[in-house]
Structure 1
Amino acid sequence: MEVKGHLPQAELKRLERVEKDADRAKRLRIVILAQEGWTAPAVAMAVGLSRRICQRWVRRYNEQGLAGLNDRRGREERLPLTPQQQDEVRQRLDAGPTAEDDVCSLRGKDVQRILAQEFHLLRSLAGVYHLLHRLGYSYLRPRPRHRKADPEKQTEFLRQWPERVQAIAAAYPTKRLRIYFQDESRFGQQGTTTNVWARTGSRPTAIRQTEYEYLWVLGAVCPETGHAEGLLSPQLNAKIVNEFLAQFARTIPSGEHAVMLWDGAGFHISRQLRVPDNVTVVTLPAYSPELNPIENLWHYLKSHCWRNRAYDNYDALEQAAVDAWTKVALDAELMKTVCAATHLDRATSN
């Protein structure tokens, strides 16, 4: 085998001695032996590889020098679809099932059929899942959306948000604005279950309580600082919201002004509502919980702290709520992540 003189043999042997990667050292040995005049079958026998593989590494060295001996495994494989077809598949999946699909959700088998019928691409079910991951898709549980939600009003709210923040800032020029998101969640004996690790093929069980005691958890979180304030109450009305606002206002430093976003619940727009001077409330569009990231906090508390459990009475519920709030909501760094408001152009005062 002919070897081009990219490097002298002495240098190749030195590199082989210091090379820590066994596979790369073996490739250097192939080049060295070939340079010494060994035939391909002899080199193959000496290093324990096939003749063709030895010839391939010599050819790569001749073409690219030492770079040709790098491991090429792990290169991104090419998709069996053109860029245009990839866009078309994404559009088809994003649009959801059609009337002709006759299903409520596109599963692997449905995507397999769509690829075959509409894109003339035959793939096994495992191949379909692999392709979906390569296209950037995961099988996720959708977040509930109210049928009365108005996407246009939501878009308009987000578009006007920077101007609204600037107007509030102009009204309090000596204050630093902090954006908070507020909401309430009911926690009680109507329990829910969450996933657990269990042996394949088994059907694990978990407690799901169906009694009727409950309490309300009121909370507000600033995604910028991770500051969270909460209040527990056996009932929820404008009077309780006023108590929460008064408690919350006392935690705001003198040099700051809080902008609190919340929904349009009756106790948020009641005539009895008393908003402290260092708080400005902003009402979100109707039926738009996805615009309020504190909803993620309720999901986190329920999935990490409150599911698969039973509570004897109100006192037990209250203690569980306090323990969970202390563990989760008072962790500022965790709150910055759980309640991140990436959908707003300006969710902080920067």
Structure 2
Amino acid sequence: MRIKDHLPIEELRRLARAEKDIGRFQRLRIVLLGLEGWTAPAIATAVGLSRRICQRWAARYNAEGLAGLDDRRGREPRLPIDAEQEAAFRQRIEAGPVEGDEVCTLRGKDFQRILAAEFNLLRSLPSVYGLLHRLGYSCLRPRPRHRKADPAQVEAFKQAWPERLDKIAAEHPGKRLRVYFQDESRFGQQGTNTNVWAEKGSRPTAVRQTEYEYLWVIGAVCPETGNAEGLLSPQLNTQIVNSFLELFAKTIPEGEHAVMIWDGAGFHTSSALRVPENVTLVKLPPYSPELNPIENLWHYLKSHFWSNRAYADYDALEAAAMAAWRVAVLDQDLVRSVCAAPYLDRATSK
């Protein structure tokens, strides 16, 4: 079988040895055997394909070189809407329900109706879901947002961050800045539920406690290093926050300075607050928990460790909180992932 010498045979052998895709490996082997003088029937027997298929791959290689060995089975399915309709449909999806929809959220049936009424496209429900997925959409639970949140303040905080970090660095020459996010979460007998695996069509049950004992988990995490510091307390006030800051400050290495980002809770702004010398506090804009990635850590702990359970008393809550902290929060790789803060252009001093 005739094969053009687009590449030296040694280079083709190297490519074949490194190839992990079995299909492409077979095609490279067809070319190699052809260059070695094998006939089409012999090559077909050696690679386990028909003679015609081997000849077809040889012809593609002869015409296009290595590019001819690419797998071309099937074509990218075309969307049932053109580019202009796609842009308009995306806007409709992201705008959410309007008054005429008479629902609080758009579901598959609603999109089916919208495509028919506004785009003159009749599609089955599975086809509608397929279109949504191909456009890159999934049905996700939104993060709660306070109605008083100001997007302009949030954006201004992000834009001003590099300059603010430079200013703090200038105030502490010779120190490497480390950014920490701080927050508190209440954990108690007012339980929560999280998802479980169960048979389709069933409605599984799980314990949801409705008693009143609780404790506070106070934490600070560094998304860059994955380091985390925590404190458990039966109450929360400025005195407890001062104790946490004092203990936290002792963990900061000699050559570092901590920049602690937190919210504007009353015990964070009290005149009785005592801030250690190696800590600088930065207050988040009001009603903007999405800027504080330690919130993700509370969600992780509740969904992985603290939900679907009942706790007998305060001691049981304390034991559960410490066990979860040891398993999850002392795992620096997990903390770096769960508490990532991609909106920060910089997390340390230069």
Using the size of structure 2 for normalisation, the TM-score is 0.85
Which residue matches 2:178? 178
Q: Which one-letter code corresponds to 1:87 in the other structure?
A: A
Structure 1 counterpart of 2:44, one-letter code: E
Q: CA deviation at 1:277?
A: 0.2
**C-alpha distance in 2, partners of 1:58/1:123?**
43
Q: Distance in 2 between matches of 1:127 and 1:255?
A: 59
Cα shift at 1:113: 1.1
Q: Counterpart in 2 of 1:235?
A: 235
Whichever residue aligns with residue 110 of structure 2, its letter is D
Q: In the alignment, is the contact (CA less than 8 A) between 1:224 and 1:336 conserved in 2?
A: yes
Aligned to 2:114: 114
Measured at CA, do residues 98 and 212 of structure 1 come closer, stay the same or move farther in structure 2, by a change above 3 Å?
same
Partner in structure 2 of residue 189 of structure 1: 189
Counterpart position of 1:267? 267
1:244-255 matches, cutoff 5 A: 244-255=244-255
Change (3 A) 1:5 1:213: closer
> Which amino acid in 1 is paired with 2:135?
L
Partner residue, 1:216 = 216
Structure 1: 5+ residue runs without aligned partners?
36-55
**Pairwise CA distance, 1:87:** 1.8
Shift of 1:90: 1.2
Report the aligned-residue RMSD: 2.5
Q: Which residue of 1 aligns with 2:343?
A: 343
Counterpart residue number, 1:138: 138
**Correspondence for 1:304:** 304
Give deviations 1:106-156, integer Å, cap 9, x for gaps.
Answer: 101111111121122221111111111110101000000000101111111
Matches within 5 A, 1:4-153: 10-13=38-41, 15-19=43-47, 22=48, 25-26=49-50, 29-30=51-52, 71-73=71-73, 75-153=75-153
Task: Give the whole-Å Cα distance in 2 for the aligned partners of 1:256 and 1:5.
Answer: 65
CA distance in 2, matches of 1:184, 1:79: 47
8 Å Cα contact 1:179-1:349 kept in structure 2:
no
Question: 1:15: how far off?
Answer: 3.9
Instruction: Tell me the alpha carbon deviations over residues 144-196 of structure 1, each in whole angstroms, 9 at most, x when there is no partner.
Output: 00001011111111111110001001111200000000000000000011111
- 3-state secondary structure, aligned to 2:168: helix
Residues 260-300 of structure 1 show CA distances to partners (whole Å, capped at 9, x for unaligned) of 00000000000000000000000000000000000000000
Which residue number corresponds to residue 45 of structure 1? Answer: none
Residue number in structure 1 paired with 2:28? none
Note the C-alpha offset of 1:13. 4.1
Check 1:11–1:164 CA distance in 2 against 1; reply closer, same or farther (3 A cut): farther
Distance change >3 Å, CA 121–CA 59, structure 1 → 2: farther
- Rounded to whole Å, the distance in 1 between the matches of 2:144 and 2:38 is 69
SS in 2 for 1:100: helix
Question: Is 2:166–2:349's contact at 8 Å kept on the other side of the alignment?
Answer: no
User: Do 2:223 and 2:336's aligned partners in 1 also have CA atoms closer than 8 Å?
Assistant: yes
Structure 1 stretch displaced more, 79-88 or 68-77: 68-77
What amino acid sits opposite 2:192 in the alignment? T
Amino acid at match of 1:185: S
Q: Distance in 1 between matches of 2:292 and 2:82?
A: 39
User: How far has the Cα of 1:70 moved from its partner?
Assistant: 5.6
**Secondary structure at the residue paired with 2:328?**
helix
Partners of 1:120 and 1:59 in 2: CA distance: 45
1:257 aligns with 257
Note the C-alpha offset of 1:72.
2.6
Determine the C-alpha separation between the residues in 2 that align with 1:234 and 1:18.
74
Aligned residues: 320
Unaligned runs of 5+ in 2: 5-33
Structure 2 equivalent of residue 42 of structure 1: none
Distance (Å, rounded) in 2 between the aligned partners of 1:329 and 1:292: 16
1:293 aligns with 2:296: no
- Is contact 1:221–1:294 with CA below 8 Å preserved after alignment? yes
**Aligned residue identity for 2:283:** T
Cα distance in 1 between the residues matched to 2:170 and 2:198? 56
Percent of residue pairs identical: 67
Taking the aligned partners of 1:175 and 1:59, their CA distance within structure 2 comes to 66
Partner Cα separation in structure 2 for residue 347 and residue 268 of structure 1: 22
* Distance of 2:143 and 2:245 partners within structure 1: 29
Q: Which residue of 2 aligns with 1:226?
A: 226
What is the alpha-carbon distance in structure 2 between the residues aligned to residue 328 and residue 160 of structure 1?
32
Amino acid at match of 1:324: A
Cα 1:12–1:69 change in 2 (3 A) is: farther
What TM-score comes out, normalization by structure 1 length? 0.85
Residue 60 of structure 1, CA deviation: 7.4
1:57 to partner: Cα distance: 9.1
